[in-house]
Amino acid sequence: MKPVAVVLGSSSPRRKEILGDMGIRFTVAHADIDESALPGETVDQTALRLAMEKARKISLRYPDALVIGADTLVALDGEMLGKPDDAPHAAAMLEKLSGKTHDVFTAVAFALGAEGREESVLCRSQVTFKNLDHATIDAYVATGEPLGKAGAYAIQGKGASLIESYAGSHGNIIGLPAREVLRFFMTFGPERLPWDN
């Protein structure tokens, strides 16, 4: 079995950092897809489908590479909370999350087009927010951090101050569950991957 290059289908700085910390050399490509949920889909189904769509689309450009696609979604009582459109939308999301426990789903898909290989895995964590007053929410939104983040917060940034506790993989909440990715690497064949020396 010949060695393969690795392509991360995400421009997320945190995903790049997590994958880099595993000691893998990789390149980055972006898959421009419609990330809307389909009628009747559950949040976990949406995450799995989007991750696989990203991996497949990029695999068409890099058929000889192992492509990693990922998608992270936040859900409160089964309702998907995507990325806020603007500051007022972010504040409204944070008000919904205040004092409650929500789910964070990250799906990771792997595709190697030349070998017709596709696999995916879903990781779920739970995050409990503190009771947030309006001043706290407004101050956090003013930092600009919530924009572009599923659920309108970043646990790895200033958003950590909003969180009472969490259960499950911290990497999953950030956007890439390292344990699941490494487990796939081991089954795929670690000798085929471009590890840093």
Buried b (16+ CB within 10 A) or exposed e, 99-117: eeebbbbbbbbbbbbeeee
Contact 43, 80 (CB under 8 A): yes
Which one of the listed residues 21, 34, 71, 86 is annotated catalytic?
71
> CA-to-CA distance for 24 and 11, rounded, in angstroms?
16
Task: Return the closest-CA partner of residue 71 out of 106, 23, 112.
Answer: 106
Task: Return the closest-CA partner of residue 126 out of 150, 104, 106, 146.
Answer: 104
Q: Is 133 a catalytic residue?
A: no
Secondary structure (DSSP) of 176-191: --HHHHHHHHHHH-GG
Contact 151, 74 (CB under 8 A): yes
Catalytic residues: 71
